[in-house]
């Protein structure tokens, strides 16, 4: 169980019974909460770092309530998938710096605890907010040409690779 704190957030591993919160924050309602709990467990077994971003306040939405407050986002680093970073923040809290704060803490933890030297953060090339945030971290952009059955791949993706120590990240 990972538990990190930032100035405004608690980042922690989701509990097995929090599939409902996971599905809600990720806007995934194709399957049951049990399915998402199984998905979280599968990624955990593969060594993924999975974190809820929790704002310590009374939960505004009962669907996102956890004992510490309200789940406002999710962050995952999946080593089984090239150390790809994926995340989501509740749309009402975008542009408030929460994700940058969470990424800094998660990246710091990752490089201290994991024997991996690369992270890949992928985003659609029109996602300016992500590009700017990654550039603030000093990560260099590299356009990838990926192919797949999903129409969203046609937009193209940008990937940042981090090499070095925590000191060069900030």
The 10s digit of each residue's pLDDT in 114-169 is: 766 677 777 776 777 877 887 787 766 665 544 433 222 222 345 555 554 443 33
Angle at 109 between CA 107 and CA 115, to 5 degrees: 90
| Average pLDDT score over the chain | 75
DSSP state of 96: S
pLDDT at 63 over 80: no
What pLDDT is stored for residue 52 in this prediction? 92
Q: Please say whether the beta carbons of 84 and 77 come within 8 A.
A: yes
Q: Distance between CA atoms of 98 and 95, rounded to whole angstroms? A: 8
Element (H, E) at 143: strand 140-144
Q: What is the mean pLDDT of residues 43-64?
A: 81
What per-residue string of b and e applies to 33-50 under the rule 16 or more CB within 10 Å gives b?
beebbebbeebeeeebbb
Q: Please say whether the beta carbons of 23 and 36 come within 8 A.
A: yes
pLDDT at 80 over 80: no
What pLDDT is stored for residue 99 in this prediction? 92
pLDDT at 37 over 60: yes
Q: What's phi and psi for 165, nearest 5 deg?
A: -110, 170
pLDDT-derived band at 9 (thresholds 50, 70, 90) equals very high
Q: What is the mean pLDDT of residues 96-123?
A: 82
Give pTM, 2 decimals.
0.77
What pLDDT is stored for residue 18 in this prediction? 83
All structural domains of the chain, each given as residue ranges with its CATH number in brackets, are 3-169 (3.40.630.30)
């Amino acid at each position: 169980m990972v538990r990190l704190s930032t100035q405004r957030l608690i980042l922690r591993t989701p509990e097995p019974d929090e599939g409902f919160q996971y599905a809600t924050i990720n806007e995934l309602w194709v399957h049951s909460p049990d399915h998402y709990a199984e998905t979280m467990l599968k990624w955990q077994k593969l060594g993924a770092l999975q974190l809820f971003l929790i704002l310590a306040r009374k939960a505004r939405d009962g669907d996102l309530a956890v004992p510490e407050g309200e789940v406002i986002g999710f962050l995952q680093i999946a080593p089984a998938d090239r150390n790809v970073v994926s995340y989501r923040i509740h749309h009402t809290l975008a542009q408030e710096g929460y994700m940058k704060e969470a990424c800094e803490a998660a990246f710091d933890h990752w490089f201290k605890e994991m024997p991996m030297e690369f992270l890949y953060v992928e985003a659609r090339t029109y996602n300016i907010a992500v590009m700017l945030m990654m550039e603030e971290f000093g990560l260099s952009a590299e356009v990838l040409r990926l192919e797949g059955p999903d129409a969203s791949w046609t937009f193209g993706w940008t990937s940042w690779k981090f090499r070095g120590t925590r000191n060069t990240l900030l």
